[in-house]
Amino acid sequence: MPSFIDFFLKILPLFLAFFVGIGAKALRLLSKEDAPVLLRFVLSVSLPAIVILSISRLQLSFDLFLIPLSAVIIVFITYFIASFMGKQLKLPKATYGSFLVGAMVMNSAFALPFFSIYQDGAGLALASFFDIGNSFLIFTFIYLQAIKYGDKAHTDKIEWKKFAKLPPLWALAVALVIKGLRLELAPVTMDFLTLLSNPTAPLVMIALGLYFEPQVKQLVPALVAVLIRNGIGLAIGFALAAIFGLEGLNRTVVITCSALPIGFNTLMFAEMENMDREFAATEVSISLIVALFLIPYLMWIT
C-alpha cells in the first residue's frame, strides 16, 4: 500500500480539476449547461476507448461477470431500504420520488478519474463492467420509479432504447469479440485509443465542478438518502465482495463503486417527471461532497 502522502499527491490533480470547474462557472467562462456536453463526450468517445483498451489487456474470468451483478444487487437492496425509510419520513410524493431515485442511482462517471490513476488505470475496464449493471437499472427499473412518483400524466415506458444505444455497451461487445477471437490491436490503434481516453479524468472532474450547486432543502431526509447511497451501499459492497470471494482489483472496484455518490440522473429524472428538483439538488450535492473524500480513501485502503 502506498503511503497516504504519495496517494494524496497522485489524486490531488483530480481535486484541482474539480475546483477548475467551480471557478470557471463562478467566472462565467463555463456554465452548468456545458457540463452535459463534457460528460456526453466522455460517454460517447472517451469511455468506449477506455473499455476497448482496458479489456484488451484483461484476463477474462467468471469473476468479471460478478461485478455488474453486484451493481444490480446493490440497487435492489437500496430500493427496499429507501422505500421503507421514505415512508417512515412521511415525505410528500414528489420528494419521496426524488429520495427513492437518489438512493438508488450510482454516479459511475465519478469513479472514472480515480480509477484512471489507480494502478495505471487497470480498474477502468472493471468500473465499466460495474456501470453496465448500474446503467441497465437506471434506464429501466429506476426510471420506472421516477414515472410512478412524478406528477406528469403520461404513458412513458421504460427507456430500453436509451440503454441499448449506450456507446460503452457497444464498445464492451466489440472488446469481448476482439478478446474472444484473440485478435491483437495494432500499435497505432492502441495509441489512438489511448489518445481518446486521456481526457476522461479532467473532463469528468470539471463537469462535476460545473454541476456542483450546494442547496439545503429538507436536510434530514437528504442526509438519510446520502447515508443509504454512500453508507449502506458501501456495507452491501463489502458483503458482496466477501460472499462472492472477490479478491484484488475486482474486490476494490465492487467496494469502491458501491459507495459512489448519488448520480446526476436523479436531477434529470426529477426535471423530466416533475419530482422535487430542489430536494434532488440537495441530496446530490451532499453526496458528492462525501464521495470526494470517501472514494479516494476506499481506494487507498482496499
- Which CATH number belongs to the domain containing residue 108 in this structure? 1.20.1530.20
pLDDT higher than 60, residue 64:
yes
Please tell me the predicted confidence (pLDDT) of residue 231.
97
pLDDT of residue 27: 94
Q: What's the CA gap between 283 and 155, in Å, rounded?
A: 28
Among 40-49, 67-76, 102-111, 279-288, the range of highest mean pLDDT: 67-76
* Mean pLDDT of the region 37-51: 84
Alpha carbon distance 193, 196 (integer Å): 5
pLDDT value, residue 2? 60
Q: Mean pLDDT across the stretch 183-212? A: 87
Lowest mean pLDDT among 35-44, 50-59, 69-78, 234-243: 50-59
pLDDT of residue 152: 59
Domain coverage including residue 131: 4-301
Positive or negative: CA dihedral 68, 69, 73, 76:
positive
| Mean pLDDT of the chain, nearest integer | 86
Position 255 pLDDT exceeds 60: yes
Question: Which segment, 146-155, 264-273, 277-286, is predicted with the most confidence on average?
Answer: 277-286
Confidence of residue 160 (pLDDT cuts 50, 70, 90): low
Residue type, 278: E
Check pLDDT > 80 for residue 155: no
Helix (H, G, I), strand (E, B) or coil at 192: helix
To the nearest whole percent, how much of the chain has pLDDT over 70? 92
Whether 78 and 228 have beta carbons less than 8 Å apart is answered as: yes
pLDDT at 30 over 60: yes
Overall average pLDDT of the 97-110 stretch: 92
Model pLDDT, residue 163: 63
Residue 106's SS3 state is strand
The three grid cell numbers given for residue 114, joined into one nine-digit string: 480515480
Q: Are 292 and 15 in contact (CB under 8 A)?
A: yes
Average pLDDT on 17-42 reads 90
Q: Report residue 131 as a C-alpha cell.
A: 456501470
Instruction: Report the pLDDT value the prediction gives residue 106, as an integer from 0 to 100.
Output: 94
79-98 pLDDT per residue, tens = 999 999 999 999 999 999 99
Residue 25 confidence (pLDDT)? 93
Mean pLDDT of 248-264: 93
For residue 74, pLDDT beyond 60:
yes
Question: Could you tell me which residues come within 8 angstroms of residue 30 by beta carbon, excluding any fewer than 6 positions away?
Answer: 21, 24, 206, 210
Q: What share of the chain is helix, strand, coil (3-state, %, to 5)?
A: 80, 0, 20
| Whole-number pLDDT of residue 121 | 65
Query: Does 159 score more than 60 pLDDT?
Result: no
* Mean pLDDT, range 220-248, rounded to an integer: 96
Distance (Å, whole) CA 275 – CA 94: 4
123 — pLDDT class (breaks 50, 70, 90): confident
Based on the structure, what is the number of domains in the chain?
A: 1
Positive or negative, the CA dihedral 52, 58, 62, 66 is negative
Of residues 144 and 164, more confidently modeled: 144
pTM of the model as a whole = 0.80
